[in-house]
Amino acid sequence: MSAEEYIWSIFDRIERLDSKIHAYLQLDREGALAKAKELDRRAKKGERLGRLAGLGVAVKDNICVRSLQATCGSKILEGFHPPYSATVIRRIELEDGIILGKANMDEFAMGNTTQSSAYGPTLNPWDHARVPGGSSGGSAAAVAAGMASVALGSDTGGSVRCPASFCSVVGLKPTYGRVSRYGLIPYANSLEQIGPIGRDAESVSLLFNAIAGHDPEDATSAREPVKSASVGDIRGMKVGMVKEFFGEGIHPKVKSKVMDGCSQLEALGAHIGETSVDSLPYSLAVYYIIAMAEASSNLSRYDGVRYGRPPATGAADWNAAFAKTRSEGFGEEVKRRILMGTFVLSAGYYEAYYVRAQKVRALLTHEFARAFKKFDVLLGPTMPVLPPRLGEKVTPLEDYLIDINTVAANLTGFPAISIPCGLVERLPVGMQLIGARFREDLLLRVASIFGSEVGYRSPPPTGAA
Amino acid sequence: MDIHQVERLADLSRLSLRPQEAERMRGELSSILSYFATLDKADVSKGPAPRETPHDGVLRDDLVRPSKPEEILEGVPQRKGRYVKAPKVF
């Protein structure tokens, strides 16, 4: 099949399925087909093509692609066309990957259901009455439904791994600093990383290796060389089941599904042990304090004057005009986090919340580092629950609580992956593995072996075939 | 958290909240805050000192590089020639 035929087939599928699923906010059919034709021409001439040649990539809408609108799922950035592309996009293009379009997301990546997008929710391809997870829900749903070969998401507190788990695909949150954040519209800088999503470990590996590596444009980018994907087995690999990940509030069938996954790893030769990370129960509060604090500062830049939504009219003065623009442009969850972040940073409360959270974060990092002296990877369920129903009424706090197992990897900077682990009540369950710093290679090795030996690769979801 | 605090935070954050929106936020922020209070139980006396980022920042030289003023100005919602239109200050 030529690249052009392949890309046509993807757009065909998008046409048939996406009016229902709504994974994409914008498509670049013309650009994608032009690039595919160019690849076919170059292949005919016998030219060597890049590592991603012919792969169709969906890009989360908070990652800048020059000439395509970047809304971050928010009304406040409506009409914003970034004048440059993110480093990850330039690297994908250099390796001959084909950008298909921009994927739906929770507004400013704040959420775990993709329901806070100002442009309407994305549906879970496995069950259209359920959410795909978030905040990279469009990216994961596009991959799961065969509407993209691979996708880019971003993960601030689980936003790649949560939708990967709920949509039964593989999603990797790299080590902090491993992938450049240049061109990623920031939400919480000290926590987030861009990460690849794919139907199997091999495609995730391909995309990860294309985007990883030092970038002088990002001051937090790591200089450590990228480890090439290691082949081999997992015999003798030490896997630590983290007690706290199986704690209070977990769906019993999700728990037993992930325990089954663990036994399968054991059957493949891994040594399974149990361990404890004492500060884990605090991780959720620590995460939300830090993420909201950083968000309140980051989102102060949106005023309607320099880009995006035009400023509101009819306000009395400068400050009132900004307040009006921002109140009309931001959704509820974004406002909530800005207010809360402003609170935890304000005089009189800063020490009690923000500084204390940073101390517990350091303690948590220390405890994880200690666990990695005994184990190669740490394991637990990615999400403690099955994908929630669309529109289910929960309080903001109840909604935050389902991030309990994912936030620690962001707070500590360690890489983490979600691997499909099977179905419960015909809904996907994901298994999370966390690795030591820069050991994405080990996570991908487990994902690859688990995928080929256990065969988690499920058929395309009903209604999407 | 009382309603005056919510109004003060909204003012600091340049957000204007309708009365019932402010009241709902008050309830939600209060319950989130009481959840944050679980951190009081954490024993941080033995922990290492926090660092701002996991990596040491790498500084680069402050060099003048070509930029794209025209392209950037094209994204400005309201402008007059090369001037950016902003709300009235006074």
Quick: pLDDT tens for A335-393: 999 999 999 999 999 999 999 999 999 999 999 999 999 999 999 999 999 999 999 99
Which chain A residue is nearest to residue B15, measuring alpha carbons?
A323
| pLDDT tens sequence across A221-276 | 999 999 877 678 899 999 999 999 999 889 999 999 999 999 999 999 999 999 99
C-alpha–C-alpha distance, residues A135 and A107, integer Å: 8
Q: Which of A66, A343, A411 to mutate to test the interface with B (most CBs of B within 10 A)?
A: A343
Residue A318 to residue B86, Cβ atoms within 8 A: yes
Interface test mutation site (partner B, options A340, A364, A401, A438, max chain B beta carbons within 10 A): A340
Q: How far is CA A405 from CA A204, A390, B38, B45, in A?
A: 21, 22, 17, 25
Residue A322 lies in a domain: no
The 10s digit of each residue's pLDDT in B30-79 is 999 999 999 999 998 877 888 755 555 567 788 998 888 888 898 899 89
First to last CA, chain B: 33
Q: Is A135 known to be catalytic?
A: yes
pLDDT at A413 (0 to 100): 97
Q: What is the DSSP letter of B79?
A: E
Q: Is the Cβ–Cβ distance between A373 and A270 less than 8 Å?
A: no
- Whether B17 sits inside 8 A of A309 (CB atoms) is no
B81 HSE (CA, 13 A, CB side): 1
* Nearest CA-CA distance, residue B55 and chain A, Å: 6
**Average pLDDT of chain A to the nearest whole number:** 95
- CATH code of the domain containing A12: 3.90.1300.10
A23 within domain boundaries = yes
Rounded CA-CA distance B69/A138 in Å is 33
**Domain spanning B3-39, CATH architecture:** Orthogonal Bundle (1.10)
Quick one: what percent of chain A has pLDDT higher than 70? 97
What are the Cα distances from residue A163, in Å, to A360, A382, A413?
Answer: 27, 10, 20
CA distances to A201, A377, B50 from A169, in Å: 9, 20, 35
The residue whose two tokens read 């991908």 is A444
Cβ–Cβ contact A349 with B under 8 A: no
Query: In chain A, what residues touch B71 (CB-CB under 8 Å)?
Result: 83
Does position A463 have pLDDT exceeding 90, yes or no?
no
Q: Measured between alpha carbons, how far is residue B12 from residues A300, A322, A337, B3, B9 in Å?
A: 10, 12, 13, 14, 5
Most distant CA pair in chain B: distance in Å? 60
| Cross-chain Cβ contact A177/B54 below 8 Å | yes
Per-residue pLDDT at B53 = 57
Residues A396-416 have pLDDT tens digits of: 999 999 999 999 999 999 999
Out of A117, A135, A136, A448, the active site residue is A135
What single letter denotes the amino acid at residue B5?
A: Q
Strands annotated E in A52-128? 56-60, 98-103
Q: Are strands B83-84 and B79-80 parallel, antiparallel or unpaired?
A: antiparallel
**A166 with A144: CB under 8 angstroms?**
no
Q: Strands A238-242 and A98-103, how do they pair?
A: unpaired
Pick A304's closest partner by Cβ from B1, B60, B77. B77
Q: Is the pLDDT of residue A464 over 70?
A: no
Dihedral angle over CA of A381, A383, A387, A390, nearest 10? 180
Q: Judge whether A256 lies within some domain.
A: no
**Integer Cα distance of A190 and A221 in angstroms:** 12
The reply to whether A220 touches chain B by the CB within 8 Å rule is yes
Average pLDDT score over residue span A121-142: 97
Exposed/middle/buried for residue A133 (C-beta within 10 Å: 0-12, 13-18, 19+): buried
C-beta atoms of B77 and A307 within 8 A: yes
Helix segments in A145-282, DSSP class H: 161-167, 201-211, 252-267
Among residues 52-111 of chain A, which lie with CB inside 8 Å of chain B? Answer: 79-81, 83-84
Q: Which of B9, B35, B39 sits opposite A339 (nearest CB)?
A: B9
List pLDDT tens digits, range A414-430. Answer: 999 999 999 999 999 99
Query: Is A185 inside any structural domain?
Result: yes
Instruction: Answer yes or no: is A164 within a domain.
Output: yes
According to the model, what pLDDT value does residue B67 have? 86
The two three-digit tokens of residue A308, written as one number = 């995006």
pLDDT of residue A457: 56
CA dist A402 and A123 (Å) reads 19
CA atoms of A454 and B5, how far apart (whole Å) = 55
Nearest CB partner across the interface for A340, out of B16, B29, B38 = B29
Q: Are A294 and B66 in contact (CB under 8 A)?
A: no
> Is B53 within 8 Å of A220 when comparing Cβ atoms?
yes
> Domain ranges in chain B?
3-39
Q: Band of the pLDDT at A83, cuts 50, 70, 90?
A: very high
pLDDT band at A465 (very low <50, low <70, confident <90, very high): very low
- Considering A136, A159, A418, A448, which one is annotated as catalytic? A159
Whether A271 is covered by a domain: the verdict is no
Contact A402/B at CB under 8 A? no
Is position A60 annotated as part of the catalytic site?
A: yes
Rounded mean pLDDT, A108-118: 98
pLDDT reported for residue A459: 57
* Full residue range of the structural domain in which residue A78 is found: 3-235+381-405+415-454
User: What amino acid occupies position A194?
Assistant: I
Query: In 3D, which of A39, A11, A41, A43 has the Cα closest to residue A27?
Result: A11
Report the pLDDT averaged over residues A450-457: 78
Smallest CA-to-CA distance from A328 within B84, B71, B14 is with B14
Neighboring chain A residues of B32 at a CB cutoff of 8 Å: 288, 340, 396-397, 400
Statement: residue A462 has pLDDT above 60: no
For A271-323, how does the pLDDT look when each residue is reduced to its tens digit (9 = 90+)? 999 999 999 999 999 999 999 999 999 999 998 899 888 877 777 788 899 99
Q: Is A339 part of the contact surface with chain B (CB cutoff 8 Å)?
A: yes
> How is residue A450 annotated by DSSP?
I
A277 and B CB contact within 8 Å: no
Q: How far is B75 from chain A (nearest CA, A)?
A: 5
Across the interface, whether the CB atoms of B86 and A353 are under 8 A apart is answered no
Say if A152 falls within a structural domain: yes
Residue A444's pLDDT is 96
**Number of domains within chain A:** 1
CB contact under 8 A, B87 and A289: no
Q: Which of B10, B39, B75 sits opposite A81 (nearest CB)?
A: B75
Peptide bond into A296 cis (omega under 30): no
